[in-house]
Amino acid sequence: MQKLRVGIVGAGRIGKLHAENLKNFKEVEIRAISDIFAEQVGDWAAQNGIEKVTEDYRDILNDPEIDAILICSPTDTHVGIIKEAALAGKHIFCEKPISLDLSKTAQVLQWVKQAGIKFQLGFNRRFDHNMSRVNELLKAGKAGDLHILKITSRDPAAPPEAYIRSSGGLFADMAIHDFDLARFLTGSDVEEVYVQGAVKVDPVFAECGDIDTAIITLKFKNGVLGVIVNSRQAHYYDQRVEAFGSVGSIAIQNDTPNTAELYTKDGVSRETPHYFFLERYKEAYVKEMHCFIDAVLNDSQVPVDVNDGYQAELIAFAAGISLREKRPVTLAEAEARIVQEV
Ligand SMILES: NC(=O)c1ccc[n+]([C@@H]2O[C@H](COP(=O)([O-])OP(=O)(O)OC[C@H]3O[C@@H](n4cnc5c(N)ncnc54)[C@H](O)[C@@H]3O)[C@@H](O)[C@H]2O)c1
């Protein structure tokens, strides 16, 4: 079997997760990992059979024996590394979002096209067993014509202040997954966005110029209406979807480690949902990697591409305008404002 030789940039939460998943793929060899704090990564890399650890991601890009890279470093490093990787002819898997600057994401579209490489973006929720089942049922017309899509997406706990400051805000950092999921399930781009946002969880969000709570309404180009409900702190990970159509509705509940229910005189209880994304989307991260590896080795189509990243970022940008200006904003207007505002 032909092996795909991979280098990973960034050995934080998500970089380590992808590496630990990939080491179980027979068709993949992890040749190197880079992190600016390489000295902190050595023991973990050795335990996971990765021989080369470097501080400089260019060591990966300059290695002719590496076919593909996974970009798992912080968002503000993505565009620069993508540009160099595309020039070096490496296939790219990049974590979301591509960037916090839509004009740069638009350039990424061009670089990837010119280089003729595969580029997959890390919108892992599309690969979740429940989300993909909703998609199958919708595409099979089991709910009839889709009228309303409702996504509930609430994190268990707010991130630290340093993360909030560099995250790009609730829309670009957190709701971006929901924007992609909404496009995936409706099979449509978004036409218009209207947001109500607030700081309910912690005043630090206001100090960072951000919000922690939002209700986002969407009008899709195919006429479907959507609502996304976000909070940075629900005390449990709340990830649910309801698709309401002309002949029925499809709903998914939160995943729990088990479904045992305890009945006593005081009431009924069951286990809380999986703690956070690493647990909830464990299988989805493996499936998205299978798709990327298959796309490169067998020249198949990637399931999530640069345009998917651009469209989700555009919705996030329009949501930001809507919040500031307290009115519905079309994506056409938002796109026209990119050059002026970014
Ligand atoms: N798809 C998902 O579910 C998901 C989940 C979490 C994070 N993410 C995304 O993944 C990216 C990383 O997030 P994280 O939570 O793993 O962050 P993290 O802070 O845990 O890890 C980032 C790592 O990159 C390293 N790094 C920084 N600059 C670097 C550079 N120039 N070269 C090499 N390494 C560098 C840091 O030292 C750190 O170890 C972000 O873009 C984030 O939005 C996606």
Q: Is the CB of 32 under 6 A from ligand 1?
A: no
Nearest CA to ligand 1 atom 43: 96
Q: What integer pLDDT is reported at residue 257 of this predicted model?
A: 94
Residue 21 to residue 170: CA distance in whole angstroms: 28
Residue located via tokens 């470097």? 54
pLDDT, tens only, 54-96: 999 999 999 999 999 999 999 999 999 999 999 999 999 999 9
Specify the residue for token string 């994304």.
Answer: 277
Cα torsion angle, 316, 318, 320, 326, sign: negative
- CB of residue 73 inside a 6 A radius of ligand 1: yes
CA of 77 to the centre of ligand 1 (A): 9
Domains of the chain are 4-123+283-304 (3.40.50.720), 125-281+310-341 (3.30.360.10)
Tokens coding 299: 């020249």
Residue 340 pLDDT exceeds 90: no
How confident is the model over 283-298, as a mean pLDDT? 97
Average pLDDT over residues 262-271: 96
Please tell me if the CB atom of residue 124 comes closer than 6 angstroms to any atom of ligand 1.
yes
CA of 216 to the centre of ligand 1 (A): 27
Q: Count of H helices and E strands in the chain?
A: 14, 15
95 lines ligand 1 (CB under 6 A): yes
Residue 244 has pLDDT above 60, yes or no: yes
pLDDT in tens, 4-59: 999 999 999 999 999 999 999 999 999 999 999 999 999 999 999 999 999 999 99
Q: Which atom of ligand 1 is nearest to the CA of 37?
A: 37
Q: For ligand 1, say whether the CB of 36 is within 6 Å of any of its atoms.
A: yes
CA gap 318, 52 in Å, rounded:
42
Mean pLDDT of the chain: 96
- For 85-112, what is the mean pLDDT? 96
pLDDT at 338: 87
Q: What pLDDT score was predicted for residue 341?
A: 53
pLDDT at 121 over 60: yes
State percent of the chain over pLDDT 70. Answer: 99
What are 149-163's pLDDT values in tens digits? 999 999 999 999 999
Is the pLDDT confidence value at 203 over 50?
yes
State residue 325's pLDDT score: 98
Question: 330 CA distance to ligand 1 centroid (A)?
Answer: 31
- 339 pLDDT exceeds 80? no
Give pLDDT, residue 1: 52
133 lines ligand 1 (CB under 6 A): no
The reply to whether ligand 1 has any atom less than 6 angstroms from the CB of 77 is yes
- DSSP letter, residue 125: G
What would the two tokens of residue 108 be?
């990424």
Distance (Å, whole) CA 329 – CA 105: 21
126-147 burial string, b = 16+ CB within 10 Å, else e?
Answer: bbbebbbebbeebeeeebeebe
At 250, give phi and psi (nearest 5°): -125, 130
At 2 the pLDDT is 77
How remote is the C-alpha of 171 from its chain's centroid? 12
Average pLDDT on 312-341 reads: 93
Q: Is the pLDDT of residue 342 over 50?
A: no
What is the percent of the chain where pLDDT is above 90? 97
